[in-house]
Structure 1
Amino acid sequence: MRPANPNDRQEFHMTCFIRRLGATLLLPASFAAIAADSADLGTMTVTASKSERPVAEIAATVTVVDDEEIARTLSESIRDMVRYIPGVTVPFQGQRFGLAGFNIRSLGGNRVQVAVDGVRIPDGFAIGDYSNASRNYIDTDSLKQVEILRGPASSLFGSSALAGVVALTTRDPADWLAETGNDVTVRTRAGYYGADEGWVASGTLAARGERLSGAIQWVERSGNELDNAGETGGTGPTRTKPNPHEYDGRNILAKLLLDEGTDNQWRLTLEHNETDSETDVLTLVRTQDFSAMFGFPYIVETTSLSGDDGTRRRRVSIDYQARQPGWADHFSWQVYYQDALTEQETFESRNTIVYGQPAPVYRFRRAEFEQEIVGTEAIARWVFNTGQVEHDLVGGFEVFETRTEQRRDGFERDLTDGSTSTTVGPDDFPVRDFPNSTTLEAGLYLEDRIAFGERFRLIPGLRVDYYDLDPELDPIFVGDNPGFEPVDIEETSVTPRLGAIYTLTDQLDVFAQYARGFRSPPYNDVNVGFTNLQFGYTAIPNPDLDPEESRGWELGLRGRGGWGHFSLAAYRNDYDDFIESFVSLGVDPETGLLVFQSQNLTDVRIEGIEAAATLNLGSLTPALDDFQLRSSASWSDGENLSGDVPLNSVEPLTGVVGLRWLPTSLPLDIELVATAVAGKDDVADPADFQAPGYVTLDLLAGWQISDASHLHLGLFNLTDREYWSWSTVRGRSASDPGLDRYTQPGFNAGISLTWQI
């Protein structure tokens, strides 16, 4: 029973959290309110402070996933990587468009900054039913480490770090060579994953000389639609089986490193990632009646619809690392270029039936979204004393320019007389939904780690950002938006941060931080533009859009010892001036058109508790020396303050518990993992589907067959539980006949074999 008084909602959720956490995690009483993490507090992180430090020395919550953990958990996608990390999700957008981007503490999309080797991956962009450029440009096989910084982080990372940062680091030649100790190594890997009948094969060659080292890796992937629990076939919205889908992709990573012999190093990186897919979108093969809209008998019968989609990301970067260059304790510099392209083609056959007379037509649509980015960043670190106070100062600057182009094209062919028209529905192709835009961003930042004795560290930080948006009109955009006046934006933002760590004992620290985040008004919201005279609407630019801003408070406790380690954090994030796209302004009396515009409307508050712990069971009794108990949990509550309604993006209470066996006498690593998720009953619209809670069991096993070969096996959803992931099903109507289409895979298995000499 939910509380009748909305003011009691927060207390009600906290009570549920405390009660469910203990039951979910199955930990001893002393750990019932703490939970767990797979990353040791001594694990090094670079993201949280722009310099290498142990996680235990960071005044924020950071999750680190290394390449061993990626291999052990058979993580073949960005979604798999966060499978056992409560509070972090990657929504699945259906078979055609696949994975979206990361969601951290209940916010995602372009409000989370994602970077590979310090280079930001492209924005996501979607419009309509046939155009959706996601942010899934990453192959996990090339990754050395993933760092997830939770909460506002613009004091170091600038715009788009509103909800957090995901930093992915690719492997260097030394990482492959260290596995054998040889100067030349060859590594191959093959794997199969039953959830989508996916195959992966990769090959790597790495070598080193006295000063030069290099590596090249090639990864090939293929697979089909992701399995679900749906049983209804056929076509239309009642279909619950997945739409037929095939994909293939490849990732190429090449690196060349030059060691100058004085702890100075140059590195050249080339990266190419691409994926192609074909989808038979049977759920959109249907009959629609528009008679009420047009005032006369008008029926559209779609007889076939398929999609052919492709993504590509290419990067080249050069970076330099210097230790003790004389004027600083450490210096790094990088320059880079990246180009990313999403192309999506839709093929549709339909009958338009007016007054009972069918007119067969063929429609073709093509959507393109491309981003190019060129930039540079330099970071320096100084360690010095002022009296009895020790300073560890990090400073840097970055400048990058991003060019964004988007275009939709297509035609309609009358299959009766063969005539062709570029007017398809409301669109007169080709069209752009915003003008080609160039943004210039520059940031200057400082963060000082001030140690007052052995116990107390104060960490102030500040960043100043400059943002300039320059739209460019071209004949395509002008033709679709006559009289449109694009808006230039030039602004400066200042984001501070203040953190503190106090060492209570040799094994216990308390930390706290206040941090700010922001996201500059995006090009597609500032200058969104389209006019449709047939249906009587238009969109206009908004020169007065303000940046989205966030303010975050966090308080945490960390402990470590021979028994293991734990962390506990409570946070509250306030977000102001959220930008809502396509807000209706009513009818313009002069033109008679319904006017839409992007505006700052929404204020949001999200608060929660995250916990993580690892307990070495041998500390309780020697009989359990080979066992670990690992668990983690996340609870959050969010509200749209502008409308006083729940925030749909908030994930339900989630807990993960793993019992791991690492026998010292055998080359084995076995873990049984339970994931428990509470039901979602706090939704913005009472008519929305409220996903029930569930528990799943996974079994992970690793076997070091020999010095040269390693086998990983995963058995997922052992009980074949039917369930929905909230990030995938949120916003769906409870009356949607196709709800089972959004269920997750039942029992499935994965296997991976690695061989290296």
Structure 2
Amino acid sequence: MNTRYLSASTLRTLPPKLALAQAIAMLIATGAHAQSVQELDLTTVEAESIERDAVVEVITADDINAEMVDNFEDLVRFIPHVSVSRGDDRWGASGFNIRGLDEDRVAINVDGVPQGETLKYEGGQAYGYFKGSRNGVDIEALKAVEIVKGADAILSGNGSLAGAVNMTTKDPADFLTDQGNDSGFAVKTGYTGLNDEMMASFSAANRTGKLESLLVYTRREGHEFENYDMDGLDVDGAGRETPDPQDNQLDSALVKFIYDLTPNSEIGLVGSYYERNANTDNRSFNGGWYSDRVGDDFNETKRVGIFYNLDMQTAFFDSVVTALNDQNVLMEANTHQEVNIQIPGFPNFNTNERRISTRAYEQDLLQLTVDFNKAVADHSLVYGLEVQDKAFKNTQIRQSDNLLDDSDEWVTSNIGALVPASEADVYTLYGLDTFYLGDNTQMRLGLRYDDYTYDAEADENFSDDTATLGEVSFDAVTWTVGVEQGLSNTLSLEAGVSTGFRAPTIEDMYSISGTFDDWNTVPNADLEAEYSTNFDIALVGEYAAGDVRIGAFRSNYDDFIDYQTVNGTNTNTGLPDPDGYLVPFNSNDVEMQGLEFSANIDLNAAIGAAQGLTMSFSAAYTDGEEANGDPVYSVQPLNAVWRTGYTSPTGKWGASLVTTYNEGKANDDSYDTDATGTRIYPLYLSNTATLFDLMVYVDLLENLRLTAGAFNLTDKEYYTWDSVRFIDQGDLRPGIGVTGNGIRRYSEPGRSFEVNLNLTF
């Protein structure tokens, strides 16, 4: 379990529920001092030390440097059936896809703090005005990332239906010697041809007496991500073959202070800031009704917090981590464009004006967590509580200048929010016990309880036309049971059942679009939480020459939230609306199953090859089925990764060749069935591709390392399923969608190069 540096400002007045929980934590800590019988060395519970039923991949800062990771797509590019969808580059990554599910169905936590919810406006994605992104941390601020495949509510919380991504930020100790006064510095700079990005990062750490401090600052400046042929058709409109031009800038800062109160306790302060600015010339949207569209977008995530760690052997715990977080996430999309709409027979819809549309989504989180560890005989117990106070606010403002007159007067209007201003109160209790039954059997038992209360109210931005706003409450009970049975000194069988849940988001319950006589999306405040039950079984071998894992899983999802089309009447015409409108609902069961394989081999120990020569192989296959028998659209095709690496005996240079196989998506695995029973197949499918990537490093000086990479060495033209599955030609509004060879702008990059230089001292 990641150490939780869950931040918040102690200068603000705490809500009563947080004050109560904090008082409980302080009383426990006070009691611990009163009955202390032994001082222990201060320890940190790391993510990989807690056994799980699901499959866990841990990526370290060394891995991030060696594999030249610049963004979250790079982070998981060599992990089968874990991916990140860039989609429209204007909005950045929209979350992770694990075992076939994505976005809010995969939990994302940074130092234990959940990241923001998505807001993507289900009824109006084709217009491209707004799509909230969840990722608000830069790669250079991280020392470890834990990828959890499978349900993991006990330790990863809300949203971990299919898995979780748990990130841990760097600490001063990562740059310092174990004891004594010390200072450490690191400077890293790099260039990647993938998006013509320049990066510079500076880290400084210090220990003076009992105080440790850290600063990590990163700056990135780049452009649009390239596609396969940047010399493709450079035109406006849906037939555009090259990506829309973009300039983007990212600034990230992480600050930590940790002070040793006693030999077995410490108090710390953490602050982080992430800001991304992107200016996108949306030329692919120009044409017909729209022209001169430019997106000027801003993403900001701020966090400040305080934490207290205590190691002391008591009747209730051996160690405790108390932390308070205050996080603010702001996403703002500004769209500049000229609109010229002429609809014969509907004079009220005729428009010729310049517009600046500003859509913003702000999410505030105040979170208190108290986590305990206790060892009793053969039992290792982890338990704790969590309290969250959330607030959500969305606004949509339009400035317009009528081009049919000469006044040049801009008029500002409130066009209504996509979701109402809302608050959410969340209470959580959890416990996990890991223990032994004899010498060869390890068991895991875990239980978690979550209580949610949402409160939404109408205001000047959101009117309650559908009479659905108010207070909504529900709770969720999740659990896990696992066993690891040793079969021999080298072979073991792992099996387990784990559960996950996802609370309905504000968008799920309250999102509305259209007008009262012509809805596009209608809310449903009676939604239930989604649940998943994940069954994992694996045969694991650990040998002197390496390890191997062969596993299978099955996941059942209940009360899956989906959208259904309901026919309605458009009173503008007095006729039934052939398009109908969308309503979220809890569908019947969804089932997923799959196979996973991984092996790591030291070729020197296995077959007497050169020392330092290693090989690894991993592959994953997933199949998913909805209640009506349709395939789950977001499931990735079969893919496999084969890596051959070499590290010189001195460790001063090394190389890695990675071969990635991605199977193409098939029609029979990607259709929807409409109300008449007709199968609707996708317009575009991903193709089968085998890719080769080469990465090398060399130590130019003792503390100076050069890392270089060449990606897609054979210059293969290919498309990923996550990039093309969102494309829909069915939307016939002028200037929207893909026509002709416009799909080419969604192709992946051809051959590209990257170089980094890392200095530590």
Instruction: Return the TM-score normalized by structure 2.
Output: 0.86
Per mean C-alpha deviation after superposition, the further-off stretch among 53-62 and 686-695 is 53-62
C-alpha separation in 1, matches of 2:659 and 2:181: 39
1:159-184 Cα deviation digits (max 9, x unpaired): 21111111100110110225999811
2:687 maps to 1:688: no
**8 Å contact 2:156–2:166 — kept in the other structure?**
no
Q: Show the counterpart of 1:111.
A: 105
2:3–2:112 Cα contact (<8 Å) kept: no
1:306 aligns with 2:294: yes
The 8 Å contact of residues 468 and 525 in structure 2, kept in 1 or not, is answered as no
SS of the counterpart of 1:704? strand
What's the counterpart of residue 187 of structure 1?
186
Q: For the residues of structure 1 that align with 2:739 and 2:265, how far apart are their CA atoms?
A: 60
Mapping 1:205-604, distance limit 5 Å: 205-230=204-229, 231-287=232-288, 300=289, 302-327=290-315, 328-353=317-342, 360-385=352-377, 390-418=378-406, 429-478=414-463, 481-482=464-465, 484-530=467-513, 532-533=515-516, 536-537=518-519, 540-581=522-563, 583-584=565-566, 586-587=568-569, 596-604=582-590
State whether structure 2 residue 622 is matched by structure 1 residue 622: no
Q: What SS is found at the alignment partner of 2:439? A: coil
**CA gap 1:473/1:622 in 2 versus in 1, 3 angstroms:** same
Conservation of the 8 A alpha-carbon contact between 1:263 and 1:323: yes
Report if the CA contact (8 A) 2:93-2:133 is conserved. yes
CA deviation string 1:229-248 (max 9, x = no partner): 24111111111111100100
**C-alpha distance in 2 between matches for 1:728 and 1:158:** 28
**Inter-partner Cα distance in structure 1 for 2:450 and 2:655:** 48
Structure 1 spans left out of the alignment, 5+ residues: 1-43, 288-299
Query: Match of 2:589, SS?
Result: strand
Aligned partners of 1:488 and 1:448: how far apart in 2?
A: 35
Contact 1:325 1:331 in 2 (8 A): no
Change (3 A) 1:326 1:191: same
Q: Quote the residue 1:714 is aligned against.
A: 709
- What CA distance in whole angstroms lies between the structure 1 residues aligned with 2:303 and 2:166? 16
| Cα deviations by residue, 1:54-85 (Å, 9 ceiling, x for unpaired) | 56944321000000000001101011100101
Deviations 1:317-364 (A, max 9, x none): 211222234342221111110001001000112434467999742122
Give the drift of 1:551: 1.0
Q: Which residue of 2 aligns with 1:634?
A: 620
C-alpha distance in 1 between matches for 2:715 and 2:404? 50
Q: Name the CA distance, whole Å, in 2 between partners of 1:77 and 1:475.
A: 39
In the TM superposition, what whole-angstrom CA distance separates every residue of 1:559-592 from its partner, at most 9, and x where no partner exists? 2222011222211111111112464264499x99
Instruction: Give the letter for the 1:492 counterpart.
Output: D
Structure 2 stretches lacking a partner, 5+ long? 5-43, 672-679, 730-737
Letter in structure 2 aligned against 1:341: L
Q: Deviations over 1:62-116 (max 9, x none)?
A: 0000000000011010111001011110001122122111111111111111111
Shift of 1:726: 1.1
1:507–1:168 CA distance, 2 compared to 1 (3 A): same
- The separation in 1 between residues aligned to 2:428 and 2:755, in whole angstroms, is 45
Measure the CA separation in 2 of the matches of 1:703 and 1:263: 41
The 3-state SS of whatever aligns with 1:476 is coil
User: Residues of 1 paired with 2:584 and 2:545: CA distance?
Assistant: 53
Distance 1:307 1:595, change over 3 A: closer
2:723 & 2:581 partners in 1: Cα distance? Answer: 31
Gap change, CA 1:276 and 1:76, over 3 Å in 2:
same
Stretch moving more, 95-104 or 742-751: 95-104
**Partners of 1:431 and 1:448 in 2: CA distance:** 49
Letter aligned with residue 314 of structure 1: K
Aligned amino acid, residue 585 of structure 2: Q
CA contact (8 A) 1:60 1:512 kept: no
- Give how far 1:595 is off: 6.2
Structure 1 residues 341, 53: closer, same or farther in 2, change over 3 A? closer
| CA shift in 2, pair 1:421/1:691, >3 Å | farther
- Cα pair distance change 1:602/1:729, threshold 3 Å: farther
SS of the equivalent of 1:126 reads: coil
DSSP 3-state at the match of 1:80 = helix
Q: Identity across aligned pairs (percent)? A: 28
- Aligned with 2:89 (options 95, 119, 123): 95
Secondary structure at the counterpart of residue 484 of structure 1: coil
* Number of residue pairs aligned between Structure 1 and Structure 2: 688
Do the aligned partners of 1:186 and 1:206 also contact (CA within 8 Å) in 2?
Answer: yes
Q: Helix, strand or coil for the counterpart of 1:521?
A: coil
Q: What secondary structure, in the 3-state scheme, does the structure 2 residue paired with 1:168 have?
A: strand
Write the distance in 1 (CA, Å) between the matches of 2:431 and 2:410. Answer: 53
CA contact (8 A) 2:54 2:151 kept: no
**Quick check: 621-630 or 544-553, which moved more?**
621-630
How far residue 736 of structure 1 moved from its aligned partner, in angstroms, is 4.7
1:181, 1:619 → 2: CA distance? 39
Q: For residue 198 of structure 1, what is the aligned residue in structure 2?
A: 197
| Bigger Cα displacement from structure 2, 85-94 vs 535-544 | 535-544
Provide the aligned C-alpha RMSD in A: 2.7
CA contact (8 A) 1:156 1:462 kept: no
Deviations 1:350-403 (A, max 9, x none): 434467999742122110011000011111111113xxxx21111111011110
* Aligned position for 1:39: none
5 Å-filtered alignment, 1:662-677, equals 662-665=647-650, 667-677=652-662
Q: Which amino acid aligns with 1:283?
A: S
CA distance in 2, matches of 1:580, 1:623: 53
Q: Which moved further from structure 2: 357-366 or 241-250?
A: 357-366
TM-aligned CA distance change 1:695 to 1:483, over 3 Å: closer
**TM-aligned CA deviation for residue 509 of structure 1:** 1.9
Mapped to 2, the partners of 1:91 and 1:596 lie a distance apart of: 24
| CA distance in 1 between partners of 2:409 and 2:453 (Å) | 39
Amino acid at match of 1:571: F
C-alpha distance in 2 between matches for 1:603 and 1:645: 12
How far 1:259 moved relative to its partner?
1.8
Aligned to 1:36: none
Query: Cα gap change, 1:692/1:596 in structure 2, threshold over 3 Å: closer, same or farther?
Result: closer
Three-state SS of the structure 2 residue aligned to 1:705 is: strand
Q: Structure 1, residues 593-636: CA drift from partner, whole Å, max 9, x if none?
A: 96653211253111111121110001233332220001211111
2:15 is matched with which residue? none
SS in 2 for 1:658: strand
Pick closer, same or farther for the CA change 1:421–1:576 going to 2, 3 Å. farther
Give the 3-state SS of the residue equivalent to 1:318 in structure 2: strand
CA contact (8 A) 1:627 1:660 kept: yes
Instruction: Give the superposition deviation at 1:525.
Output: 2.1
The separation in 2 between residues aligned to 1:511 and 1:284, in whole angstroms, is 51
SS in structure 1 at match of 2:507: helix
Deviation at 1:640, TM superposition (A): 1.4
